[in-house]
Amino acid sequence: MVRKNRLPRFPFDYINEKAEEYNNSKWMERNQKRATLLSIQYLFDENLNDIDTKVNKIGDPFLILDLGCGTGFSSEILIENNFRVIGIDKLPDMLLKAKEKKTRIFMKLPFFELILADINFLPIRVNSLDYIISVSVYNFITYGSQNYNEKLKVINDTARYLNRILKKNGRMVIEFYPKDEKELDIFNKSFIKNGFEGFMIKSNPNQKSGQTFLLLRNDK
Ligand X SMILES: C[S@@+](CC[C@H](N)C(=O)[O-])C[C@H]1O[C@@H](n2cnc3c(N)ncnc32)[C@H](O)[C@@H]1O
Residues that bind ligand X (CB under 6 A): 10, 14, 32, 68-71, 73-74, 88-91, 94, 118-120, 135-137, 140-141
Peptide bond connecting 11 to the previous residue in cis, omega within 30 degrees of 0? yes
Select 95 or 184, whichever has its Cβ closest to ligand X. Answer: 95
E-only strand ranges, the chain:
63-67, 84-89, 112-116, 129-135, 166-176, 196-202, 212-218
Residue nearest to ligand X (CB): 70
CA distances from 209 to 10, 25, 206, 219 (A): 18, 25, 9, 27
The Cα–Cα gap between 85 and 76 comes to 9
Q: How far is the CB of 154 from ligand X (least distance, A)?
A: 9
Rounded (to 5) percent helix, strand, coil in the chain? 40, 25, 40
Q: How far is the CB of 118 from ligand X (least distance, A)?
A: 4
The Cα–Cα gap between 105 and 112 comes to 11
Q: How far is the CB of 61 from ligand X (least distance, A)?
A: 19
Q: How far is the CB of 14 from ligand X (least distance, A)?
A: 5
Q: How far is the CB of 57 from ligand X (least distance, A)?
A: 29
Select 23 or 218, whichever has its Cβ closest to ligand X. Answer: 23
Select 98 or 215, whichever has its Cβ closest to ligand X. Answer: 98
Select 53 or 147, whichever has its Cβ closest to ligand X. Answer: 147
Q: 87: which DSSP letter?
A: E
CA distances from 20 to 1, 33, 40, 67, 196 (A): 10, 18, 26, 20, 36
- Amino acid at the residue 43: L
Select 70 or 195, whichever has its Cβ closest to ligand X. Answer: 70
Q: How far is the CB of 46 from ligand X (least distance, A)?
A: 25
Select 49 or 96, whichever has its Cβ closest to ligand X. Answer: 96
